[in-house]
């Protein structure tokens, strides 16, 4: 594989230290950016020979990145955080400088559960909140614990499901049973009645709806408009050894993200994902969500789902440090972190917007000048440093300000906190701790 | 007391071999699982000390979730610390295995089990590679026979001469003999037409 030299005139890109790379991915729609980077030649243009390895579990992706079998991988946005904080059964610093997209998940329930919810409130599907309240009524009257599935302990699916349940006063650790099962098994388990609902990415919501097995209530977009979901992560160690390679990877993925986001390319994108072995689902199902045509109950029919998967617009690829802080807040909320940490400081080690900016500048892509932003204030599109940004409302009307993360953690009624909140506040407010 | 081992492996042939090897080495194999079982229930019922999982199993994430649950239930933890007196995590991952230790079992006892498991996984992979190679050679043999037959019929050659011609093509063009045979067959098809018996 000959290395194409980067004689782009004004660029100061270095030759990648390592040209043959292997990245891990999962069989989900949001491996799209990495798939496109490979299939449309963006990696190749940077002199990189990339093999994408489809893995069977997040645990395997994690382990293979740690031992170096994989140079990097698609990961759940909180996975590099869990690894770096040592709350996985090991402590290995990881970083991400690239978000693989916004949104993309949804909560789907069985037909029988839906009917029970309607029985409690015929208008249950007016909004995510009324749906959660109807669910609470069902839970209170039910003779067994309802079971909901998600994909991994440190997944946005887990945090979304919990957030939504808790909004109606449902304690996710007491009132229901949350379990992890592989995404590919969710539809059949729902059909068998082993589980009552799940939160997962595509194509597993569309599949359930199209097979008549389940009903999609709400999407992750509805819970928090344009929320983080997956990232491209590498070991800190790997970044230290191969900085130019990492930059070349970012450049390729930026271009791939831009391609993937273009409405004209969605058809071809669906074909790439289905026909080249990335996702094992019918083209119609994958195409449906990529075109934003998912059937979702808590949604005004006139509202389009064109932002169901966002790969590039709204600065979707930018690794906001505030997003890392949000995940950390939920990890504290649910007792996953017990240690007192300076949240902002650790977030800055793991999410690296500085690396993103260096890459973006090489290809003339505008990027935010700030590393953090407040979430939950924008009901319409807005402008940030000449970039068009999307809505960012939470369904419960709340606001997340990264300057007050500990207060945010403290304000939740439903929680499984496992940390000294006052100590956390002290550390956060220590002078020079910014 | 014998260690209780649970195996989770999508590959039925391999798991049977591993189960036997572990039994031969004095371990108690309490369960074998493939996909679709109610894993958490199985683990609660069979109470293994160690769970050996193949890296290709989607059930790994379910296993990971069990240590986070607060209820009174077995908590398997993946073995992931490199210690010089332990099996190498890197080698285990390369061999395609992950190991989970349940509730306070001494991880030092895992060493011997992992040696057995890794050896079996590697052996299985070697057998698979050998099988692929044999199949490929068998396929080549069929192609060569067919190509020889064509040359003998079309050019009135002896079997030996026909074989030597195919060999020559293979050497001159620096391609494998199977490919050379395939080329002969393809060209014959084009020139002579479809008059297969």
**Which of A59, A66, A68 lies nearest to residue B60, judging by beta carbons?**
A59
* Number of residues written out for chain B: 197
Backbone angle region of A364, left / alpha / beta, with phi > 0 → left and psi within -120 to 50 → alpha: left
| CATH for the B133-192 domain, from 1.10.10.10, 2.40.50.140, 3.10.20.30, 3.90.1580.10 | 1.10.10.10
Distances (CA, A) of A361 to A13, A104, A358: 11, 28, 5
Which CATH number belongs to the domain containing residue A334 in this structure? Answer: 3.40.190.10
Q: How many CB atoms lie within 10 A of CB A288?
A: 23
Whether the predicted pLDDT of A9 surpasses 70: no
Q: Is the CB of residue A30 less than 8 Å from the CB of residue A231?
A: no
In sequence order, which ranges of A262-401 are alpha helices (DSSP H)?
266-275, 283-290, 321-333, 343-350, 353-362
Mean pLDDT estimate for chain B: 87
Q: Which residues contact A297 (CB under 8 A, 6 or more apart)?
A: A114, A125, A131, A215, A216, A217, A218
Question: What confidence tier does A6 reach under pLDDT thresholds 50, 70, 90?
Answer: very low
Instruction: Collect all residues of chain A within an 8 Å Cβ-Cβ radius of residue B40.
Output: 179
Q: State the DSSP code for B194.
A: S
| Of A303, A201, A312, nearest in space to A266 by CA | A312
Q: Where are the domains of chain B?
A: 4-128, 133-192
- Across the range B167-183, mean pLDDT stands at 93
Question: Would you call B47 an interface residue with chain A, using a CB distance cutoff of 8 Å?
Answer: no
Token reading at A85: 């904080």
- Across the range A199-212, mean pLDDT stands at 92
**Which of A57, A64, A89 lies nearest to residue B61, judging by beta carbons?**
A57
Whether the predicted pLDDT of A2 surpasses 50: no
pLDDT of residue A301: 63
**pLDDT tens digit sequence for A391-424:** 999 999 999 999 999 999 999 999 999 999 999 9
**pLDDT tens digit sequence for B125-138:** 898 899 999 999 99
Whether the predicted pLDDT of A268 surpasses 90: yes
Q: Do A58 and B64 touch (CB under 8 A)?
A: yes
CA B29 to chain centre: 21
Q: Do B61 and A68 touch (CB under 8 A)?
A: no
**pLDDT tens digit sequence for A278-322:** 988 888 888 888 877 888 998 866 566 788 889 999 999 999 999
pLDDT of residue B104: 77
Mean pLDDT estimate for chain A: 92
| Of B33, B63, B60, nearest in space to B46 by CA | B33
Token reading at A134: 């109807």
Q: Do A56 and B60 touch (CB under 8 A)?
A: yes
Q: Do A151 and B61 touch (CB under 8 A)?
A: yes
- Chain B closest-CA separation from residue A198 CA (Å): 14
pLDDT of residue A7: 42
Q: Do A57 and B58 touch (CB under 8 A)?
A: yes
Instruction: Collect all residues of chain A within an 8 Å Cβ-Cβ radius of residue B60.
Output: 56-60
ipTM of the complex: 0.90
Interface size between A and B, measured as CB pairs under 8 A = 78
Q: Do B64 and A59 touch (CB under 8 A)?
A: yes
Alpha-carbon distance of A234 to B171, in angstroms, equals: 45
**Which of A63, A90, A153 lies nearest to residue B68, judging by beta carbons?**
A153
**pLDDT tens digit sequence for A26-80:** 988 889 999 999 999 999 999 999 999 999 999 999 999 999 999 999 999 999 9
State which residue of chain B sits closest to A61, comparing Cα positions.
B55
**Which of B58, B68, B90 lies nearest to residue A184, judging by beta carbons?**
B58
Token reading at A96: 């991400």
- Tokens 């389009």 found at: A304
**E strands within chain B?**
4-8, 28-33, 50-54, 76-78, 97-102
- Across the range A196-202, mean pLDDT stands at 95
**Which of A63, A181, A416 lies nearest to residue B93, judging by beta carbons?**
A63
Q: Rounded to two decimals, what is the model's pTM?
A: 0.89
Whether the predicted pLDDT of B66 surpasses 80: yes
Residue A134 maps to a domain = no
Q: Do B61 and A89 touch (CB under 8 A)?
A: no
Instruction: Collect all residues of chain A within an 8 Å Cβ-Cβ radius of residue B56.
Output: 56, 60
Asked if the peptide bond before residue B175 counts as cis, ω within 30 degrees of 0, the response is no
Question: Would you call B40 an interface residue with chain A, using a CB distance cutoff of 8 Å?
Answer: yes
CA A185 to chain centre: 20
Whether the predicted pLDDT of A330 surpasses 90: yes
Instruction: Collect all residues of chain A within an 8 Å Cβ-Cβ radius of residue B36.
Output: 185
Q: Do B56 and A179 touch (CB under 8 A)?
A: no
Residue A371 maps to a domain = no
Backbone angle region of A221, left / alpha / beta, with phi > 0 → left and psi within -120 to 50 → alpha: alpha
Whether the predicted pLDDT of A259 surpasses 60: yes
Whether the predicted pLDDT of A371 surpasses 60: yes
Q: Do B59 and A57 touch (CB under 8 A)?
A: yes
pLDDT of residue A284: 85
In which element (H, E) is residue A84 found? helix A79-85
Residue A254 maps to a domain = yes
Which domain does A316 fall in, by range?
A: 20-101+228-285+305-362
Question: Percent of chain A having pLDDT more than 90?
Answer: 84
State the fold for domain B4-128.
Answer: Rossmann fold (3.40.50)
- Tokens 């295995």 found at: B97
Question: Would you call B77 an interface residue with chain A, using a CB distance cutoff of 8 Å?
Answer: yes
Q: Do B81 and A90 touch (CB under 8 A)?
A: yes
Number of domains in chain A: 1
Q: SS3 for B60?
A: helix
Alpha-carbon distance of A367 to A352, in angstroms, equals: 13
Rg (CA), chain B: 26
**Which of B38, B65, B93 lies nearest to residue A153, judging by beta carbons?**
B65
Q: SS3 for A235?
A: strand
Sheet containing A197-201: which strands, arranged edge to edge?
Answer: A177-180, A147-150, A197-201, A105-110, A214-219
- Tokens 């393809």 found at: B186
Q: Do B89 and A152 touch (CB under 8 A)?
A: no
**Which of B38, B64, B79 lies nearest to residue A152, judging by beta carbons?**
B64
Pairing state of beta strands A228-235 and A177-180? unpaired
């Amino acid at each position: 594989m000959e290395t194409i030299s980067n004689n782009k005139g004004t660029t100061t890109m270095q030759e990648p230290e390592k040209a043959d790379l292997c990245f891990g991915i999962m069989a989900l729609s949001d491996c799209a950016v990495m798939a496109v980077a490979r299939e449309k030649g963006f990696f190749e243009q940077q002199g990189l020979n990339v093999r994408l390895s489809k893995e069977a579990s997040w645990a395997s992706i994690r382990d293979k990145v740690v031992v170096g079998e994989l140079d990097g991988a698609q990961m759940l946005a909180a996975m590099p955080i869990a690894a770096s904080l040592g709350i996985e059964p090991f402590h290995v610093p990881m970083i991400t400088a690239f978000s693989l997209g916004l949104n993309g998940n949804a909560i789907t329930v069985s037909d029988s559960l839906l009917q029970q919810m309607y029985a409690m409130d015929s208008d249950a599907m007016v909004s995510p909140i009324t749906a959660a309240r109807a669910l609470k009524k069902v839970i209170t009257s039910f003779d067994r614990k309802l079971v909901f599935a998600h994909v991994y302990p440190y997944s946005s699916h887990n945090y979304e499901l919990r957030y939504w349940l808790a909004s109606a006063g449902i304690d996710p650790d007491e009132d229901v049973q949350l379990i992890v099962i592989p995404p590919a098994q969710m539809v059949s388990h729902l059909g068998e009645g082993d589980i009552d609902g799940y939160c997962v990415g595509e194509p597993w919501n569309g599949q359930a709806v199209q097979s008549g097995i389940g009903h999609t209530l709400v999407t992750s977009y509805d819970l928090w408009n344009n929320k983080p979901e997956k990232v491209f992560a590498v070991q800190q160690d790997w970044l230290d050894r191969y900085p130019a390679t990492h930059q070349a990877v970012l450049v390729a993925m930026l271009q791939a993200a831009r391609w993937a986001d273009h409405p004209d390319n969605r058809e071809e994108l669906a074909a790439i994902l289905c026909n080249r072995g990335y996702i094992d689902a019918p083209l119609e199902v994958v195409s449906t969500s990529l075109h934003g045509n998912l059937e979702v109950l808590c949604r005004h029919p006139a509202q389009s789902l064109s932002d169901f998967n966002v790969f590039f617009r709204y600065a979707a690829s930018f690794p906001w440090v505030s997003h890392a802080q949000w995940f950390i807040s939920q990890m504290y909320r649910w007792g996953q972190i017990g240690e007192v940490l300076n949240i902002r400081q650790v977030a800055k080690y793991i999410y690296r917007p500085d690396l993103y900016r260096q890459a973006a500048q090489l290809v003339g892509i505008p990027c935010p000048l700030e590393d953090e932003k407040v979430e939950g204030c924008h009901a319409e599109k807005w402008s940030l440093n000449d970039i068009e940004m999307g809505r960012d409302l939470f369904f419960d009307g709340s606001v997340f300000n990264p300057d007050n993360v500990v207060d945010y953690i403290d304000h939740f009624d439903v929680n499984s906190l496992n940390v000294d909140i006052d100590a956390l506040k002290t550390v956060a407010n220590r002078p020079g701790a910014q | 007391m014998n260690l209780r081992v649970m195996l989770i492996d999508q590959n039925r042939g391999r798991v049977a071999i591993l189960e036997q090897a572990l039994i031969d080495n004095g371990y108690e194999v309490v369960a074998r699982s493939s996909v679709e079982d109610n894993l958490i229930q199985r683990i609660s019922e069979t109470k293994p000390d160690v769970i050996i999982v193949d890296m290709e199993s989607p059930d790994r994430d379910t296993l990971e979730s069990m240590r986070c649950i607060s209820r009174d239930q077995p908590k398997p933890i993946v073995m992931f610390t490199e210690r010089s007196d332990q099996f190498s995590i890197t080698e285990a991952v390369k061999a395609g295995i992950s190991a989970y230790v349940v509730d306070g079992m001494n991880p030092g006892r895992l060493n011997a089990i992992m040696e057995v498991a890794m050896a079996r996984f590697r052996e299985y992979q070697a057998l698979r590679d050998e099988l692929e190679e044999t199949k490929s050679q068998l396929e080549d043999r069929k192609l060569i026979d067919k190509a020889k037959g064509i040359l003998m019929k079309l050019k009135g050659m002896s079997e030996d001469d026909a074989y030597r011609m195919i060999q020559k093509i293979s050497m001159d063009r620096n391609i494998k003999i199977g490919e050379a045979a395939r080329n002969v067959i393809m060209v014959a098809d084009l020139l002579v037409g479809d008059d297969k018996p």
